[in-house]
Amino acid sequence: MSQQCVDPIVGKILAGWRYDISGLAAEMRGDYESHFVECEHCRGRQRIHRMIDVGLIALASVSGFVFLLAFGVIRHFGPRHAFWLEIAALAGFALSALIWLVVAVATPAPVTMMDAAREGAKRVHDRLPQEIRERLPEELRVKITGT
């Protein structure tokens, strides 16, 4: 049951941008946002691309942590050729950090994660009792609810 894009021309434009419209000016974004509302195909593709982006950042983070852990273990036990093993562990960490940075800069994954965090905070805020909500500073309330 493969769905087709409701507007193939707009769908091809969005595919060329990896379904990322976060860099567009607000005036230009309207048509593409309405396309995402109408088109299940493009919305699904956008979700897949964001999951890949977030997955790459998570994988690079875990990889960097493992290389730092390896460096610490090598440092602690001090095996023969420890210097070269430490260099290899630090090089692995540097490569993981570089990959993390490239993915974070080249994709809208950080924006996506911030939006998800903001949505979660809004849900928690909405469930709080009224007296607790009123005790929150106005500045924080505006950031969470957007109003």
Q: CA distances (Å), 98 to each of 57, 102, 106, 116, in order? A: 11, 6, 12, 24
Q: How remote is the C-alpha of 50 from its chain's centroid?
A: 7
For helices 82-106 and 109-127, the axis angle rounded to 10 degrees is 70
State pTM to two decimals.
0.69
pLDDT along the chain (147 residues), means of 10: 79 83 80 88 90 92 97 92 94 96 84 78 87 86 78
Q: What is the pLDDT of residue 2?
A: 53
**Tokens representing residue 110 in the block:** 């950080």
Long-range contacts of 30-37 (CB under 8 A, 24+ apart): 35/6, 35/7, 35/10, 35/11
Q: Output the pLDDT for position 97.
A: 96
* pLDDT score, position 1: 41
